[in-house]
Structure 1
Amino acid sequence: MASYSDLDLEDIAEWPLIPQLVVTVLFIVVIQAAGYWFYLKPKVENLERLKQRESVLKSTVRIKANKVATLPKLQAQLDELSERYDYLSRQLPVQKELASMLASVNEEGLKNSLTFTRIDWGQKQNQEFLYRLPLNIELTGDYHNIGDFSQAIAELPRIINFDDVDWQRVSQESSTLHFRVRAYTYQFKPEVKDEN
């Protein structure tokens, strides 16, 4: 029996069965390793990248689907806020209405048998997106009449808020009260137009 070192690769077909099987198995392993390394491994790495990308895209789709699902609710909220804004903005006076507002306040006082000692606008106060307009009111009258006057002011079509309210009896014996209040209304600032 010849030694395996004497085997010639060119005569492989004449080798004994075991060396032929060993060489064939080694040849198959080398071809598979080369096939894996040069063909299959890049495909597997690409597949892993695609799986990660798929995961990211699924998350993105999920987030966008949630946004789309909440869009009608957000639109309804926006519409409601827009309606409220429009309603409130209609209750704020424009400059040309200030005189008629003052006349309405005066008229409500007279209807309730009150005597004015002062009613005038204070200095306009600049705020973030509004002007606050103070209205100084001083009057005398009966407690219930002052209450009815306050309610009538609250029911006017334009917003007037009472603040810094002070009242006291005209004298110890009298039931007539001196009522002093600083009321406020608000105006939107005119929007600055771009001149470019």
Structure 2
Amino acid sequence: MALDVKKGLGGVKLPVIPWGKLSKLSKAHKLLIAVAILGALWGCFVWFLYMPQTEKITKMSGDLDAAKTKLARLKNVEKNLRAFKKKYRDTELKFKQALKLLPDKHEIPALLSSISNLGAQSGLEFLLFQPQKEVNRNFYAEIPLKIEVTGPYHNVATFFDKVSRLSRIVNIGDVKMTEAKAAKTKSDTVILKTSCTATTYKFIEAKEQPEKGKKRKRKPSKK
């Protein structure tokens, strides 16, 4: 069965182009019609193809810029995190090194014995060697030690110098010097009575630290 072009497809009538009349038009009219057809085709291309693709490209460009911004922010966070981790490791190392200078409770007797021996080695006579009550300072405690010795000034200075060279921290303070009775020896050396406070420190382990906010339970009074 032959297709009737005039009836069109599916029985729908298509407009019949009057080719005979078009051939009789002037060149100017033909040019205008050609321009109109090209304009219509260009408009269809822009509307149906170019504009949707442009919008898609614009959206993808915005998404790309947002992704670049997020990536730059994450890189900055990563950089800061690395710097923070390094700073934390350095601080932790310094803290551990500082703890080595603080004896624990098991080392205190040996440290006090060392201080006493240094005094004897320096030619001093001890009149008083008395540990005082500990003073808690968060993660460490101060251990004051009252000391009174007699001996020449040079010997006292030697003793203080030896104490300062101990591997553990020991601070000498509250130094008072007075001339002792029977002050002069046969060599006319002046004997001084020196009193001072030697303060050492110990590290307090977590289980030893007093818990804040907890009140001691009062024992019920007996009536």
With structure 2 as the length reference, what TM-score do the two structures score?
0.64
1:11 equivalenced with 2:33 (yes/no): no
User: Structure 2 vs 1, CA of residues 12 and 22 (structure 1 numbering), >3 Å: closer, same or farther?
Assistant: farther
| C-alpha distance in 2 between matches for 1:183 and 1:123 | 13
1:96 to 106, 111, 130: 106
Are 2:156 and 1:165 aligned?
A: no
> Matched residue pairs, number?
180
Shift of the 57–183 alpha-carbon distance from structure 1 to 2, 3 Å rule, reads same
Confirm whether residue 141 of structure 1 aligns to residue 151 of structure 2: yes
TM-score w.r.t. length of structure 1: 0.72
Contact 1:114 1:139 in 2 (8 A): yes
Residue 49 in structure 1 maps to residue 59 in structure 2: no
Report how far residue 28 of structure 1 moved: 2.8
Provide the residue aligned with 1:185 in structure 2. Answer: 200
Report the RMSD for the aligned CA atoms in angstroms: 3.4
Q: Do residues 40 (structure 1) and 54 (structure 2) align?
A: yes
- The letter of the residue matching 2:17 is D
| Contact 1:139–1:178 (CA under 8 A) maintained in structure 2 | yes
Distance 1:61 1:110, change over 3 A: closer
Whichever of the two has the greater Rg, that structure is 2
Other-structure match for 2:166? 156
SS at match of 1:46: helix
Deviation at 1:131, TM superposition (A): 1.0
- Alignment partner for residue 26 of structure 1, among 26, 39, 44? 39
Q: Which runs of 5+ in 1 are unaligned?
A: 1-8
- Displacement of 1:79 in angstroms is 6.5
Equivalent residue number for residue 135 of structure 2: 125
- 8 Å contact kept, 1:160–1:184: yes
* Identity of matched residues, %: 21
Flag structure 2 segments of 5+ consecutive residues without an equivalent.
1-14, 185-189, 209-223
Contact kept, 8 Å, 1:115 with 1:140, in 2: the verdict is yes
Q: Greater helix percent: which structure?
A: 1
3-state DSSP of counterpart to 1:94: coil
More displaced 10-residue stretch of structure 1: 177-186 or 9-18: 9-18
Q: Is the 8 A contact 2:134 2:144 kept in 1?
A: yes
